[in-house]
């Protein structure tokens, strides 16, 4: 269970929150605190006060994979293979294991054809796929995805959804502006001005959002 | 009448290629395609910013062209938000009020959140009229409400050619013509709603509504809501 108690960080305030294992999706306007919360979950930021724990451990003590909406900000290496392999190399995993893990991960996400490419030649969406592979290759317990889908087409997204479900990550915490992605979640959080105003499974939350731009029309069909 | 015609235009790189033929007339056009299919490459070629591997492009009565890039950081030249607005030749006070960034006039554009920077960039681009406006993934980084506002703005444009290169599926403006890139080739799917029949990247909701016998007239949120209402009453 991910738990937050009296958490304050910058403009974000959460009095109490419990997130069970599964896919949790955060929706809300730009500036509502979604990315801030994701950074806390990934251990990139620490609360000013209060607590955020993942199965009673601090996020920085937990295996976490992070994908930024702008992958250029996180990509370190020139070639795709090296970028995906980097989390394993940093852990000094044997070379033959690295090779097989990278190839297996690329195959799961359908990007084997990118392995020998230079990162600078990739499209924005392809860079997101590479970042996702680098986040998943070391089998994290928590996968944190910050609007990863804003540069992806529907076909790639469908494939990635399967990859995420099969990844073995116990917790997937993501934010999106694609309500067709939000539908496919176990738990939804709606953020407004630094606070969580709605929390629950999609069928409990979307009725509150009817008539807004956040209501997925597909939901009614 | 403004128009841009692509005559067997091609881009070739290693094992990848794109070829495109067709005429874009006045109005709003949508170009869809999978990631890496060449949407951005096509936008660059139409803007004259990328040499063609083959073919040629004819432009008629197009004197002003603007390409809005997928990542707004790449456009930034000003050290402050106000300077950035001025670099586009627009009044900072007017623009910043409209995008709710009036309090950030003296901040660095690169200190804005990604959504704020995209809002600022699009407001600067859309403040002027261009004969050919090419928008590469204009909806990325925007929240749902901002996407709706952008669609309304694009829908109000009464002149020039606007081409939107995107894989956005849910919130789109009403368009005149739909194109897509399939297997390295630009395909003209035609005009909505007939285009839906041939459109391989047709949004899931349109596909679903069509299957339920309530095909929307176009791809805008209003058209989709109207089609949903027909089913649900």
Domain assignment of residue B53, yes or no: yes
Kindly compute the dihedral angle of the four CA atoms of residues A65, B137, B171, B29, in this order, to the nearest 10 degrees. -160
- Say if residues B180 and B199 touch (Cβ distance below 8 Å): yes
- Same domain assignment for residues B89 and B18: no
At residue B15, the pLDDT reads 82
Give yes or no for a contact between B150 and B142, defined as CB atoms under 8 angstroms apart: yes
- Evaluate whether residue B74 is within a structural domain: no
Write the residue in B71, B169, B228 that is nearest to A154 by C-beta.
B169
Nearest CB neighbour to B204, from listed A154, A213, A214: A154
Q: Does B207 touch chain A (CB under 8 A)?
A: no
Domain presence at residue B201: yes
Shortest Cα distance, chain B CAs vs residue A218, angstroms? 6
Statement to judge: residues B100 and B10 lie in one domain: no
- CB < 8 Å to B142, chain A: 30, 177
| B19-35 mean pLDDT | 96
- The last residue of one of the domains, among B126, B141, B165, is B126
The domain spanning residue B147 has which CATH number?
A: 3.40.50.300
Count of domains in chain B? 2
d(CA A34, CA B54): 45
Distance CA B230, CA B41 (A): 40
Q: Does A125 touch chain B (CB under 8 A)?
A: yes
- Whether B61 has a pLDDT exceeding 70, the answer reads yes
> Do B166 and B222 lie in a common domain?
yes
Show which of B126, B144, B164 is a domain's final residue: B126
Is B160 in the same domain as B198?
yes
**B69 falls within a domain:** no
- A180 against B59, higher pLDDT: B59
The reply to whether B154 and B120 lie within a common domain is no
The domain boundary, picked from B91, B107, B126, lies at B126
Residue B178's DSSP bridge partners are B30, B190
The reply to whether B84 and B99 lie within a common domain is yes
Q: Give contacts of B119 with chain A, Cβ < 8 Å.
A: 30
Specify if B117 maps to a domain.
Answer: yes
Same domain? For B158 and B55 the reply is yes
The answer to whether residue B59 scores a pLDDT higher than 90 is: yes
Coil vs helix vs strand at B31: strand
Residue of B141, B208, B212 lying closest to A150 (CB–CB): B141
Residue B146 and residue B55 in one domain: yes
Would you call B123 an interface residue with chain A, using a CB distance cutoff of 8 Å? Answer: no
Span A176-217, pLDDT tens digits: 999 989 999 999 999 999 999 999 999 999 999 998 999 998
Q: What b/e string do you get for B24-45 counting C-beta neighbours within 10 Å, with b at 16 or more?
A: bebbbbbbbbbbbbbbbbbbbb
What are A219's two structure tokens? 């939901």
- CA B63, CA B65: separation in Å to the nearest integer? 7
pLDDT given at position A220: 67
A94 touches chain B (CB under 8 A): no
**B142 plus B198 within the same structural domain:** yes
Is there a domain that residue B70 lies in? no
Q: What is the pLDDT of residue B76?
A: 94
Q: Over 70: is that where the pLDDT of B233 sits?
A: no
Same domain assignment for residues B110 and B134: no
Contact B143 A177 (CB under 8 A): yes
Q: Looking at this predicted complex, what is its ipTM?
A: 0.85
Q: Are residues B122 and B145 in the same domain?
A: no
The closest of A75, A36, A88 to B114, measured between CA atoms, is A36
Cross-chain CB nearest to B144 (options A129, A155, A214):
A214
Interface of B with A in 57-86 (CB under 8 A): 70-71, 73
B60 and B84 within one domain: no
Domain that holds residue B180: 3-64+129-232
**Confidence (pLDDT) at B141:** 87
Length of chain A: 221
Quote the minimal CA–CA distance from A127 to chain B in Å: 10
Q: Is residue B40 within 8 Å of B197, Cβ to Cβ? A: no
Average pLDDT over residues B122-140: 95
Which one of B32, B35, B147 has the shortest CB-CB distance to A123?
Answer: B35
Average pLDDT estimate for B2-29: 96
Residues of chain A with pLDDT under 70: 220
For chain A, domains (ranges, CATH) are 1-63+144-221 (3.40.50.300), 72-139 (no CATH)
Is B102 a domain residue? yes
Residue B57 lies in a domain: yes
């Amino acid at each position: 269970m991910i738990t937050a108690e009296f958490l304050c960080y910058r403009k974000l305030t959460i009095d109490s929150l419990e997130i069970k294992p599964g896919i949790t999706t955060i929706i809300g306007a730009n500036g509502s605190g979604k990315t801030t919360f994701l950074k806390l979950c990934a251990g990139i930021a620490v609360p000013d006060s209060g607590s955020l724990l993942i199965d009673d451990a601090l996020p920085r003590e937990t295996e976490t994979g992070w994908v930024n909406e702008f992958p250029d900000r996180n990509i370190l290496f020139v070639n795709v293979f090296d970028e995906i392999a980097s989390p394993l190399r940093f852990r000094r995993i044997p070379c033959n294991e690295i090779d097989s893990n990278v190839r297996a991960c690329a195959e799961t996400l359908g990007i084997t054809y990118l392995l020998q490419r230079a990162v600078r030649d990739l499209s924005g969406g392809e860079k997101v796929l590479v970042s996702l592979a680098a986040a998943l290759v070391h089998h994290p317990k928590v996968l944190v995805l910050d609007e990863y889908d804003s540069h992806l087409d529907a076909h790639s997204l469908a494939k990635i959804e399967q990859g995420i479900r099969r990844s073995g990550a116990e917790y997937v915490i993501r934010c999106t502006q694609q309500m067709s992605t939000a539908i496919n979640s176990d738990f939804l959080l709606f953020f407004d001005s630094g606070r969580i105003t709605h929390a629950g499974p999609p069928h409990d939350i979307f009725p509150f959002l009817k008539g807004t731009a956040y209501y997925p029309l597909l939901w009614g069909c | 009448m403004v128009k841009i015609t692509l005559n067997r235009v091609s881009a070739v790189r290693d094992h990848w290629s794109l070829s495109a033929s067709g005429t874009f007339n006045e109005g709003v056009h949508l170009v869809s395609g999978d990631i890496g299919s060449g949407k951005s490459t096509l936008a660059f070629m139409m803007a004259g910013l990328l040499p063609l591997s083959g073919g040629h492009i004819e432009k008629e009565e197009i004197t002003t062209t603007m390409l809005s890039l997928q990542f707004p950081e790449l456009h930034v030249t000003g050290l402050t938000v106000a300077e950035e607005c001025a670099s586009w030749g627009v009044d900072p006070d007017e623009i910043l009020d409209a995008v709710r960034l009036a309090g950030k006039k003296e901040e660095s554009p690169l200190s804005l959140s990604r959504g704020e920077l995209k809002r600022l960039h699009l407001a600067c681009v859309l403040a002027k009229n261009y004969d050919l406006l090419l928008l590469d993934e204009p909806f990325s980084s925007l929240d749902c409400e901002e996407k709706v506002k952008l669609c309304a703005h694009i829908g109000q444009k009464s002149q020039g050619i606007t081409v939107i290169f995107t894989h956005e599926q849910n919130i789109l403006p009403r368009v005149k013509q739909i194109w897509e890139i399939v297997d390295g080739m630009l395909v003209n799917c035609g005009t909505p709603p007939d285009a839906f029949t041939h459109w391989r990247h047709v949004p899931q909701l349109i596909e679903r509504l069509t299957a339920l016998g309530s095909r929307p007239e176009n791809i805008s949120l209003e058209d989709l809501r109207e089609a949903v209402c027909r089913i649900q009453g």
